[in-house]
């Protein structure tokens, strides 16, 4: 897996340039549309955090992968459908895409009935793009406060900047929002913009293509 090893060098270089500590940044290998074997190859090189955005793929691949590898953590990166909450809970350790009060209420009900807890990120639509999931930036403060009032433990905030704008503008906007609520973690940065994300304080970068190559 030369892609993965080459990316680790780029990752280290970006962290050094930003004068950050690599230990405070979680590299999530986004393995959507990749086979168990391809994922296992990356596991064998020491990668422990992975991300998926389709529940069907998670259910197909991850019970076997987790059985065969200790200390793997799986991050859910897709849109949360209310009828899929149970399976997301059972399979995933981190959920990056909380963006509706209906989902918050379902999560709280599920936590209360099972005693299970996961780590949650609120997805913020920093560009207020109509086609994209996430809480509109103008509504984000009220939504975060509502989540906290309902005692949902918010681990961090997440964003996907518009493709035709400078990502740093959106990363800085998310960081400012997080500071207002003393939220420590920022899920931001993908293959094309992870360097800027690290410079802007990202704690979780989500890398697919640079690790696994182009998707089929």
Distance of CA 18 to the CA centre of its chain: 21
The residue among 85, 87, 153, 145 whose CA lies nearest residue 117 is 153
Question: What is the percentage of the chain residues whose pLDDT exceeds 70?
Answer: 99
**H or E segment at 149?**
helix 140-149
Residues 67, 46 contacting (CB under 8 angstroms) = no
Mean pLDDT computed over every residue of the chain = 95
Rounded mean pLDDT of 150-159? 95
Query: pLDDT band for position 55 (50/70/90)?
Result: very high
The residue whose two tokens read 């459908």 is 81
Instruction: Say how far apart CA 26 and CA 43 lie, in whole Å.
Output: 15
SS3 187: strand
Per-residue pLDDT, averaged over 138-157, amounts to: 96
Q: Is residue 214 over pLDDT 90?
A: no
Quickly name the fold that domain 2-212 has.
Answer: TIM Barrel (3.20.20)
pLDDT value of position 2: 82
Is the pTM of the predicted complex or chain greater than 0.85?
yes
Strands of the chain, DSSP E: 26-30, 49-52, 73-76, 94-98, 119-125, 135-136, 154-158, 185-187, 204-207
**Three-point CA angle 5, 205, 4, nearest 5°:** 10
Average pLDDT over residues 186-205: 98
CB atoms within 10 A of CB 80: 21
| Token pair listed for 81 | 């459908």
Tokens 């990056």 identify what position?
Answer: 96
The 8-class DSSP code of residue 137 comes to: G
Please tell me the predicted confidence (pLDDT) of residue 6.
95
Whose tokens are 């009828």? That residue is 83
> φ, ψ for residue 73 (rounded to 5)?
-120, 140
pLDDT tens, residue by residue, 64-100: 999 999 899 999 999 999 999 999 999 999 999 999 9
């Amino acid at each position: 897996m030369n892609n993965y090893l080459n990316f680790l060098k780029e990752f280290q270089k970006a962290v050094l340039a930003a004068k950050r500590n690599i230990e405070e940044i979680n590299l999530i290998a986004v393995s959507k549309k990749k086979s168990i074997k391809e994922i296992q190859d990356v596991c064998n090189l020491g990668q422990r955090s992975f991300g998926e955005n389709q529940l069907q793929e998670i259910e197909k691949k991850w019970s076997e992968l987790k059985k065969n590898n200790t200390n793997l953590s799986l991050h859910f990166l897709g849109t949360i459908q209310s009828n899929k909450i149970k399976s997301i809970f059972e399979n995933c350790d981190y959920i990056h895409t909380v963006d509706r009060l209906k989902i918050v209420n379902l999560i709280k009900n599920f936590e209360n009935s099972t005693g299970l807890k996961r780590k949650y990120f609120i997805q913020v639509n920093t560009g207020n793009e109509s086609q994209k999931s996430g809480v509109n930036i103008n509504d984000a403060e009220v939504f975060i406060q509502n989540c906290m009032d309902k005692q949902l433990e918010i681990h961090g905030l997440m964003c996907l900047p518009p493709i035709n704008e400078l990502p740093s503008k959106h990363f800085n906007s998310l960081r400012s929002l997080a500071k207002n609520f003393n939220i420590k973690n920022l899920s931001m940065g993908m293959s094309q913009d992870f360097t800027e994300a690290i410079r802007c304080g990202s704690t979780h970068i989500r890398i697919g293509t640079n690790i696994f190559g182009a998707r089929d």
